[in-house]
């Protein structure tokens, strides 16, 4: 069994760089991977990633690229050059975009002797329900859509996907044991769902075989965030 901290990712969902780095310092020893998403990257840029790296921690760059293949591939190269541990793209950007990202990043890392980041495809956001998917014009079930996008991401050469833990079994059945599954939408029984729809408890997510679980408000919106994380860690260790 891997240690909890090898599986936990803490989302630095703030626009304040100073506060983000305070969180990194406060969770020293408890969290090794921090997620930099749209809010923080838009306000602080690559320098916040450098600062996190200086502290010896790893970064999951959660910018969910979604653009034409050339633009996505070039953005992927920059993510690799920043030395992030993992980054993601939207699988719905299509096979060719994902294929270009994977191929170009692999080539760059070999050529420049860089550590290759893990590359994930976002399937269906955990904030989406079956009805919302229908609203977008997708008629088949949410699970079918997740399975379909996961298989496409794998065929394109990505290392894994972001999905709800509710879909782990379906994805594993399709993509095998080595395919990385990162699951946001994690809520212990004592925390509210907020805007997330397909939530799963930390214990259940680990039990179902999540490789990484993303924690956001379930930790940082609690009165005592460190205590909240300790409770979650305990929950996982006894899963």
Indicate which residue of 64, 147, 197, 204 is catalytic: 64
Distances (CA, A) of 7 to 32, 53, 81, 138, 197: 9, 18, 24, 32, 22
φ, ψ dihedrals at 189, nearest 5°: -60, -25
Q: How far is the CB of 107 from ligand C5P (least distance, A)?
A: 27
Tokens of 76: 């992927």
Q: How far is the CB of 201 from ligand C5P (least distance, A)?
A: 12
Nearer to ligand C5P, 76 or 185 (CB): 185
Chain residues in the site for ligand C5P (CB under 6 A): 11, 13, 37, 62, 122, 125-126, 162, 184-186, 194, 196, 214-218
Give the residue closest to ligand C5P by C-beta: 216
| Cβ neighbours of residue 22 closer than 8 Å, sequence gap 6 or more | none
Nearer to ligand C5P, 154 or 164 (CB): 164
Nearer to ligand C5P, 77 or 215 (CB): 215
Coil, strand or helix: which one is 37?
strand
Q: How far is the CB of 85 from ligand C5P (least distance, A)?
A: 15
Give the Cα separation of 180 and 177 in Å (integer).
8
Nearer to ligand C5P, 9 or 97 (CB): 9
64 among known catalytic residues: yes
Distances (CA, A) of 97 to 62, 125, 152, 159, 234: 17, 19, 11, 15, 40
| Cβ neighbours of residue 137 closer than 8 Å, sequence gap 6 or more | none
Q: How far is the CB of 237 from ligand C5P (least distance, A)?
A: 20
φ, ψ dihedrals at 11, nearest 5°: -80, 120
Residues annotated catalytic, as ranges: 64
């Amino acid at each position: 069994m891997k240690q909890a901290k090898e599986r936990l990712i803490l989302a630095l969902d703030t626009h304040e760089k100073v506060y983000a780095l305070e969180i990194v310092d406060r969770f020293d020893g408890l969290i090794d991977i921090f997620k930099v998403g749209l809010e923080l990257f838009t306000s602080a840029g690559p320098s916040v990633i450098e600062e996190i790296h200086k502290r010896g921690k790893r970064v999951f760059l959660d910018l969910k690229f979604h653009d034409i293949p050339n633009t996505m591939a070039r953005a992927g190269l920059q993510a690799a050059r920043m030395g992030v541990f993992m980054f993601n793209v939207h699988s719905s950007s299509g096979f060719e975009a994902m294929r270009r990202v994977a191929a170009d990043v692999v080539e760059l890392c070999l050529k420049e002797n860089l550590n290759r980041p893990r590359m994930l495809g976002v399937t269906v956001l955990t904030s989406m329900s079956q009805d919302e998917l229908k609203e977008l014009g997708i008629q088949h079930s949410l699970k079918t859509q997740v399975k379909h996008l996961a298989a496409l991401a794998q065929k394109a050469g990505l290392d894994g996907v972001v999905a709800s833990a509710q879909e782990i079994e379906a994805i594993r059945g399709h993509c095998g044991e080595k395919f990385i599954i990162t699951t946001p939408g994690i809520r212990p029984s004592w925390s509210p769902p907020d805007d997330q729809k397909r939530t799963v408890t930390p214990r259940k997510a680990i039990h179902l075989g999540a490789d990484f679980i993303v924690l956001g408000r379930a930790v940082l919106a609690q009165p005592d965030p460190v205590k909240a994380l300790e409770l979650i860690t305990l929950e996982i260790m006894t899963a």
